[in-house]
Chain A
Amino acid sequence: MRTSHSVRQRPSVNMAGVGFRRWAQALCRGNGSGISALVSGCRAASGVSKGSLPGPYPTTPEEKAAAAKKYNMTVEDYEPYPNKGEGYGDYPNLPERSQHERDPWYQWDHPDLRRNWGEPIHWDFDMYIRNRVDTSPSPVSWSSMCKQLFGFIGFMLFMFYLGEKFPSYQPVAAKQYPYNDLYLEKGGDPEKEPEEVKHYEI
Chain B
Amino acid sequence: MGAHLARRYITETDTEPDPARKYEFDPQLGFDERKEREMVANQEQMNLAQLPLEQRDYCAHHLLKLMKCKRDNWPNFLACKHERHDWDYCEHQDYVMRMKEYERERRLQLRKKRIEAQAEAA
Pairwise interchain contact B95-A168, C-beta atoms closer than 8 A: no
Interface flags for A164-202 (1: CB within 8 Å of B; 0: not) read: 001011011111111100101110000000000011111
B49 at the interface (CB under 8 A from A): no
Contact partner of B34 (CB less than 8 A), chosen from A172, A177, A184, A201, is A201
| Chain A, interface SS category | loop
Contact partner of B98 (CB less than 8 A), chosen from A173, A177, A184, is A173
Pairwise interchain contact B36-A199, C-beta atoms closer than 8 A: yes
**A199: B residues at CB distance < 8 A:** 36-37, 58
B9 at the interface (CB under 8 A from A): yes
**How many B residues have CB within 8 A of the partner chain?**
30
B82 at the interface (CB under 8 A from A): no
Roughly how many angstroms separate A189 CA and B36 CA in the complex, as a whole number? 25
**B37: A residues at CB distance < 8 A:** 176, 178, 199-201
Contact partner of B5 (CB less than 8 A), chosen from A168, A176, A179, is A168
Total A-B pairs, Cβ < 8 A: 72
Which chain B residues (34-84) contact chain A, with CB distance < 8 Å?
Answer: 34-37, 39, 43, 46, 53, 56-58
Pairwise interchain contact A202-B4, C-beta atoms closer than 8 A: no
With A166-B9, A185-B56, A186-B53 as given contacts, are A175 and B35 in contact (CB-CB < 8 Å)?
no
With A175-B57, A176-B58, A182-B53 as given contacts, are A198 and B27 in contact (CB-CB < 8 Å)?
yes
Pairwise interchain contact A176-B56, C-beta atoms closer than 8 A: no
Pairwise interchain contact A184-B43, C-beta atoms closer than 8 A: yes
Residues of A at under 8 Å CB distance from B? Answer: 166, 168-169, 171-179, 182, 184-186, 198-202
Residues of B at under 8 Å CB distance from A? Answer: 2, 4-5, 9, 17, 19, 23, 27, 34-37, 39, 43, 46, 53, 56-58, 94-95, 97-105
